Amino acid sequence: MASTTLTHPEPTQHENAEGEKGEEEFEVIKRDPYLAPFRAALRGRYGYFRNWVNTIDRTEGSLDDFSRGYEKFGFNRTKTHIIYREWAPGATSACLIGEFNNWDHSAHTMTKNSFGVWEIAIPHVAPGQPAIPHDSKIKVSFTNESGERFDRIPAWITRVTQDLNTSPVYDAVYWDPPQPYVWKNPAPPRPKSLRVYEAHVGISTPEPRVGTYNEFTDRMLPYIKDLGYNTIQLMAVMEHAYYASFGYQVTNFFAASSRYGTPEDLKRLVDTAHGLGLTVLLDVVHSHASNNVLDGLNHFDGTDHCYFHEGSRGRHELWNSRLFNYSHHEVLRFLLSNLRFYMDEYRMDGFRFDGVTSMLYLHHGIATGFSGNYEEYFGGAVDGEALGYLMIANYMLHSLYPHVLTIAEDVSGMPALCRPVEEGGVGFDYRLAMAIPDMWIKLLKEVRDEDWKMGDITFNLVNRRWKEKSIAYAESHDQALVGDKSLAFWLMDKEMYTNMSDLTERTPIIDRGMALHKLIRLVTYGLGGEGYLNFEGNEFGHPEWLDFPREGNHDSFHYARRQFNLVEDPLLRYKYLVNWDRAMHHLENRYPWLESEHTWVSTKHEGDKVVAFERGPLLFIINFHPTQSFTDYRIGAPKSGNYQMVLNSDAPEFFGYNRLDQNQVFTATPGEWNGRPNYIQVYIPSRTAIILKSDA
């Protein structure tokens, strides 16, 4: 990509020579006057961001050039040489060793500049024949001040592999295929309604083993497209030595995990997804790094710091991992270039940033409950360096890639997290609505169905910051991990092994579980956010939990797989839940409500357990009552005229009792009801949902 001059964002207020704001306010304060007392903190954050961008422009030419560090660091091949550079300021000597030089420490020594960057240029053995063969093992070897020698995997390496027959430690591989992947499909337009399928390549098979990129491409992509999702969020792609970490203990940031296949296989996955019109997001972990030394970044140059803070600030006590020093020039280059690398090399369409809460606060959210008091988001608890990095990263991505999407995993609810940097925000497009799945688990574990509070449920679903987009979900991978279990298992674990066949009777437990599984998803989808997410397998009520091979389970793959064979069996009842999931997505695609700003909750009747709300062009009516059905139930309607039923959960294809006429037309009657100018009267059976569309 050619160098691009980025126009620095100008806030909506004037700025004097010292960087202080004038009389006009940041846009985020105009939207939310409660932020006004924290004007100085917002100015400080923005000033820190601007100072970094100005420094990068002055020292590196541009943020664009700076964030393409992979073109300078690591291995880069020219017409005549392979150039290798590595930042390791604490080392006193360095050499490149590998199969290409029989691991000879004296054959290819490196030189160090004043910034701690080591470099070597290795001439080709013949025109077009590099000295380092493709797919050969390689390492960088350092010495420290005491003369101790230690070998490391290059920090910018793009491929590492593991041979468990010889060592559990990963090996670095020089990857430069003679026939690069040829891309076929352009990326689809950025979706306005985000319907996200959260997936892990390795577990995307019913067989007890690690799945592959190619299997995911051939089997999963058509399935995801058919269901009606428009976005895939890929987990655990950045290489992690410990499979059971779920990809959250990254060892090699530029290497796509080799346990699933080759880099070209991953490119084919993304390319095929684009051809199907699917947006692809990468789960990126810049909140911390693996504690591994031999195949990670820890003690990379022999010191306790290098890429991380030294001492206790550089360690996450609960995750047993290292914490980046976001205030260092070369750490910023490494992380920003990491984002650019996946955008340019693998043509990702954006990122879900993991562990944002841990980044935002010096306490990392540990033993901290966020009440919503604005004092919690400004002051000494905030990690200004990490917050500044997130602002720079979002600004860079959105400036260079207009179609990019960024999602923050933040449980704290920090104001302005999802507003543009120039408005005084941090720049994310969406945040995950992490309180919603917690609510559902708490209800299922602690509250009887007849005691569910409709007002509390709807409040929790709509309780989000205005003009800051959220992605709602009833459960994600977090709720599926061992120690917890899927919603379907919470609902039906007593009978999922015995009564999920159509050849068995319909029991109260199965009836309740199947009905609530549908209703929980629908009300979350309808009210919870401007996007919707589902973790793979949960669309059909995946049983049990998720547990990766580890010492504690004797390295078993039994729970580290998704049993798609269950939904493919026509005799099993899982098919009804996947039918419902598909129907919801295709309805949202037909009548987009996620992108609509119109939301109106007209009914939340505690005694009847009925919720009714308008979202976009649709009217949702949901009866959560365990036993009571209602005839001629009056519901407020926004428009006059006729209403057509476009979806109902009682249809037989959704394991319903077929008590409703899908073709029935409801005529609105003038007259105020629950704050609406008209009303309709419907038959709404217990634990059933219907969705209506006005013909007006």
Active-site residues, by number, are 354, 409
Q: Which of 319, 337, 318 is nearest to 329 (CA)?
A: 337
Helix (H, G, I), strand (E, B) or coil at 491: helix
Distance separating alpha carbons of residues 121 and 547, to the nearest angstrom: 46
Query: What are φ and ψ of residue 443, in 5° steps?
Result: -65, -45
What's the N-to-C CA distance of the chain in angstroms? Answer: 50
Q: Which two tokens stand for residue 674?
A: 């629950």
**How many other CB atoms sit within 10 Å of the CB of residue 74?**
19
Distance separating alpha carbons of residues 430 and 578, to the nearest angstrom: 26
Distance separating alpha carbons of residues 282 and 349, to the nearest angstrom: 8
Q: Which two tokens stand for residue 102?
A: 């029989």
Distance separating alpha carbons of residues 434 and 529, to the nearest angstrom: 11
Distance separating alpha carbons of residues 2 and 64, to the nearest angstrom: 9
**How many other CB atoms sit within 10 Å of the CB of residue 43?**
18
**Which residue's structure tokens are 């992605």?**
471
Distance separating alpha carbons of residues 16 and 250, to the nearest angstrom: 42
Q: Which helix (H) or strand (E) holds 65?
A: helix 63-66
**Which residue's structure tokens are 């959105």?**
398
Spatial neighbors of 147 by CB under 8 A, at least 6 apart, are none
Distance separating alpha carbons of residues 452 and 604, to the nearest angstrom: 11
